[in-house]
Amino acid sequence: MRIIRIVVILIAVACVPILSHAAEGMVTSSTQALWYNDFQSQDTDQNDIAQYLKLDVKKLDKEGKINLHGYGRVIKQTSTSVESRPEIAEDTYGRMYYFYLDYRDAIKDHLNFRAGRTYVNAAAVSGTIDGLYLNCRNLGPVGVTLFGGRNVLFDNKTEVGTGGDAIIGMSVYLDTVKNTHIEASYGRKYSDSDLARENVGLDFSSTPLEKVNLYGRMQYDTIGDTIEELLFGAKVAPVEKLILRGEYFQSHPTFDKYSFYSYFDVNDYDEVSITAEYQLTSKYRVSGKYAREDFGDDATANLYGIGFLARPIKDLTLNASYENRNGYTGKLNGFRVNGVYTISKAAISAGVDYDDFHRESSRDGTAKKYWAGVNYALNDTFSAVARVEEDINYNFDHAYQGFAALNITY
Amino acid sequence: MSNNRALKIILMSSAFLLVAACLSFAKTSHKEYRDASPEDCRECHTGSGVPENHGAFFIDTHRVLAEKAPGNCADCHPQSFCLDCHNGGGVTPDQRKSLSRRGEYMPKTHRSDFISIHPVKAADNPRHCYRCHEVTFCSDCHSRQIRQDRNSMDIKPHGPTFVSPGVPNPAWVSDHSASARRSLQSCQGCHPQKADCTNFACHPNLQGR
């Protein structure tokens, strides 16, 4: 029934521009064939057919304040797979990512709202809801957001959760001070009608001096009476084309209120990181990162990374990066190289991933991935995309996966 | 008690907001720049005193910006732009994205063979995983693997050892508790049930479910 409901909604959504003469609508459709490898299935070669549909209808009213947005998909799994959970053991799955009415200036200069299935986010809580999001602007120097509704939980291909899963939240924000944003937020999550999480979030960012940006974030778990997440950072551009960033991040593992895991003692995770990126010329950029990770009880790790972005000629973009991690839970040493070249209406891309890893509590190995893809735009309405990939790793000596898609936008 | 504390934090935060509200300045809307190239952004931001943010590490840092009200990202990006990474969507299929074992598009951060390297990568900020995945995402795969072929998971044996019946080995107790304190969230992947911890009478009166 859920699949039928989603299909009907998608078709109805696609018809809205026809029924509403004043509106401007855009529909994006993508029909796809996917093939991939599931190492846990009896037959590792898996195949799906997917239909995506996205709709944006603008100017439903004369003033152009009311818009409608919808996005969903239906997937038919054409191969056989054995799932551990009966609720996802079907071979046809539907998912509605969002479907909401967006009303700007419902009260001029003071109220915007979204109603329906929509994504909401705040420092305290975030997620997809079937509900309402209100943004009350210009209330003196501050604005207030309020949101609430059924919490939509996406999982492997389908939705999980019950009618008792919910999110409510609010935030008070100030961004009328030049280049400064201050925000306090509060949110709750319910699972099966039981309170699972209650958080308070504080956000701050400011650019007090030219080229110096300071920011911070705190998320406080009121149930566990602990600071769940703490972040302080500074971004500095000491000379033109050079951006330096330093961050301190701390997190404390937390669990739903009813979980027995919430009764155990845990260590904080601390991370200090610095990054630098330099735009050598308009065509070349280099970047580097170092992070020191501390898991408590003398367990640490060091992470190093460098990256290079090049656009040597107008239609060619190349990316290369190297990462080295050594410490608690294991070692990783690997690189990624990829590029995209545009020829008239086509874009051809290809790449290689290589990782040499050592899992502290288990095994060593290497993982290689080679891939190539092409995107061809026949005209403004029709385009096609295809990708093929070869994987050589612990689970597969040589495995192939990819997709082919026909996109229509009208 | 915790509610009182939350109330205090909210009141203090609100008071701070009002005190800080001393200047009035129109925030820049970026809607008219939504089709601009990153180079165009750089030209403007270079002279504005506000460093551009869509740089080399934006995948790592965008979360803090995206979670701020009133949602500046929407000036340029539809919600599908977020969900196609966070929830496996693919209405505009990206050649650079690989597929998961369930056929979902994976974010580009999931490099090489992510199934093999995820125990290492998940440790780099353990909260990263839970920004997109529910706990069931871990336990679904791990529990099935345990049922099918526990040995192929290649995880170091970590079940309790005993010096005599009912008396756990002190070395195991020490190692077990240190590991659990460091990465308790990862334990949920294979041990979602309370019985997993009460079986051996180690935590007999555990609360919760």
Residue of B nearest to A242 (CA): B51
Q: Which two tokens stand for residue A294?
A: 């501390």
Interface test with B, best of A104, A154, A331 (most B CBs within 10 A): A154
Question: Which of A36, A185, A303 lies at the smallest CB-CB distance from B101?
Answer: A36
The tens place of each residue's pLDDT in chain A, 410 residues long, gives: 555 565 555 555 555 554 555 678 999 999 999 999 988 887 788 899 999 999 999 988 888 899 999 999 999 988 876 665 555 566 788 999 999 999 999 999 899 999 999 999 999 999 999 999 999 998 888 999 999 999 999 887 778 878 899 999 999 999 877 788 999 999 999 999 999 999 999 999 998 887 889 999 999 999 999 999 999 999 998 888 899 999 999 999 998 888 889 888 899 999 999 999 999 988 999 999 999 999 998 999 999 999 999 999 989 999 999 999 999 999 999 999 999 999 999 999 999 999 999 998 778 899 999 999 999 999 999 999 999 999 999 889 999 999 999 999 99
Residue of A nearest to B103 (CA): A36
Long-range pairs for A314-322: beta carbons < 8 A, 24 or more residues apart = A315/A341, A315/A342, A315/A343, A316/A340, A316/A341, A316/A342, A317/A341, A319/A351
Domain extents in chain A:
1-101, 306-410
**Chain B CB contacts of A175 below 8 Å:** 27
**Chain B CB contacts of A355 below 8 Å:** 111-113, 117
Nearest CA-CA distance, residue A266 and chain B, Å? 4
Distances (CA, A) of B71 to A117, A128, A181, B76, B119: 17, 15, 12, 10, 33
Question: Are B103 and A48 an interchain contact pair (Cβ–Cβ within 8 Å)?
Answer: yes
Kindly report the backbone phi and psi dihedral angles of residue B154, in degrees, each rounded to the nearest multiple of 5, phi listed first. 55, 35
Q: Using CB atoms within 10 A of its CB, is residue A305 exposed (0-12), middle (13-18) or buried (19+)?
A: middle
**Chain B CB contacts of A267 below 8 Å:** 181-182
Query: How many interchain CB pairs under 8 A, A with B?
Result: 367
**Chain B CB contacts of A320 below 8 Å:** none
Q: Is the omega angle on the peptide bond into residue B70 within 30 degrees of 0, that is, cis?
A: yes
A68 CB-near residues (< 8 Å, 6+ apart): A13, A16, A55, A56, A57, A60, A100, A101, A102
Distance CA A133, CA A120 (A): 7
Question: Which of B42, B80, B100 lies at the smallest CB-CB distance from A71?
Answer: B80
Put simply, the chain B residues between 22 and 61 with a CB less than 8 A from any chain A CB are 22-25, 27, 39, 42, 46, 49-52, 55-57, 61
Query: CA-based angle B183:B125:A126, to the nearest 5?
Result: 100
The answer, yes or no, to whether ipTM is higher than 0.90 is no
3-state SS assignment for residue A338: strand
Q: Where do the DSSP E strands lie in chain B?
A: 162-164, 167-168
